[in-house]
A and B are shown apart, each in its own frame.
Chain A
Amino acid sequence: MDAESAKLLAAGISMGVGSLGPAIGLGMLISKALESIARQPEVSGEIRTDMFIGIGVTEAVALYAFVIALILIFVA
């Protein structure tokens, strides 16, 4: 395998594996948030705000993988 194809493979694998964890995390986070909103609709505003903070932090992990993939393809 030459260096070019190894780079492309690594980029694909980093994006795929790197988005596994955040996907599971986002699913758990949103399902729990919806559950608690259904249980206590009167605090839905606060829960939604906290949910968005959590989404932002969790999603960043997948985006690091995206940036690494870009670096692998175009910079390295």
Chain B
Amino acid sequence: MKRRLLVGLYLVAGLVALAILAFLPGGARAQFDVLAEFELHPIIKLPSIGPVDLSINKAVIYLWITTAVLAVCAFIISRNIKPVPSRFQFVMETLYELARRSIVGAVMKSDQASWFPYIAGAFFFVLVSNLIGLVPLPFAENHQFGFYAATANLYATLALALCTFVFTHYAGIRKHGLVGYVNGWVPSSAPPVLRQLMLLIHAISEVFRLVSLSVRLFANMLAGHSILAVFFAMALIFQNYLAAVVLQAGSIIIYLFEIFIACIQAFIFAILSAVYIGGALDQEE
């Protein structure tokens, strides 16, 4: 009875505090631009070779961090594998099993062993890169802490998607030969005129796979990070302490949702890569 009274008192006190906060005057309105977070400025200026600018910017640093984290994790885990796994080893084994069973095993019919390394590599790279994007690191303007993900950059995701694109056709051509592979794009029972049209449509769809694979990952990460930024900065826009408290609570929920999205997007990228490569290997008759 006494405890319930105490809880009720706390509740009333909290509501009163929120009501007082609602009437406090807010701070000065600050200018705020969401997309400024995603602009890339060279941190270390390097000479450019022809049209290729080699300057080190935020995205490059995030890619380096991703690579370093992956390499260190792989090194540590491969040095001491125990029959009774530690916590870290258990997590890595679970992720490995996920890549092996639910991604490669569930989608590809043949040649699983030879394509598992690429697909698992893409999965781990995208996963670690997405998750590092949710850790505040001091690479924003004037070395402030800020959120950025290497995968929230179209060039990084396009490079990843190009890998899948190239490997898809490499796998198909190596298995069926160039002529056999291109012929396998359309059913052999189709009449010749229709065949040419279908070949053209299929070629266009191959290019659009590249676009959709890269834009999906890029737009998901960019949208997630800009929603986070909007929630964090909403207090500046409303100039109200009540809105600030409520929206900070909301931003925590959005942040948790972003962790989920980061994992799902890595999973989808890897599984679509597996679907494309598997489709090139086992063409329907």
Q: What residues make up the interface of A, taking CB atoms closer than 8 Å to B? A: 45-46, 49, 52-53, 55-57, 59-60, 63-64, 66-67, 70, 74
Contacts and interface: CB of A to CB of B under 8 A. Distances in A.
Interface in B89-108: 102-103, 106-107
Interface size band for B: 10 to 19
Q: Interface residues of B: mostly helix, strand, loop or mixed?
A: helix
A74 B226 CA distance: 14
A52 B267 contact: yes
B252 to A, nearest CB: 23
A46 B103 CA distance: 10
A56 B107 contact: no
Interface stretch (B74-82, B116-124, B215-223): B215-223
Interface of B: 35, 102-103, 106-107, 212, 215-216, 219-220, 222-223, 264, 267-268, 271-272, 275
A35 B222 CA distance: 32
Nearest to B219: A63
B215 A67 contact: yes
User: Which A-B residue pairs are the 10 nearest by beta carbons?
Assistant: A63-B219, A56-B268, A60-B216, A49-B106, A60-B212, A66-B219, A67-B219, A66-B223, A63-B216, A49-B102
B272 A53 contact: yes
B275 A53 contact: yes
A43 to B, nearest CB: 11
Contact of B268 (A45, A55, A67): A55
B223 A56 contact: no
A13 B103 CA distance: 37
Given A45-B106, A74-B35, A52 B264 contact: yes
Contacts of B35: 70, 74
Nearest to A62: B219
A53 B271 contact: yes
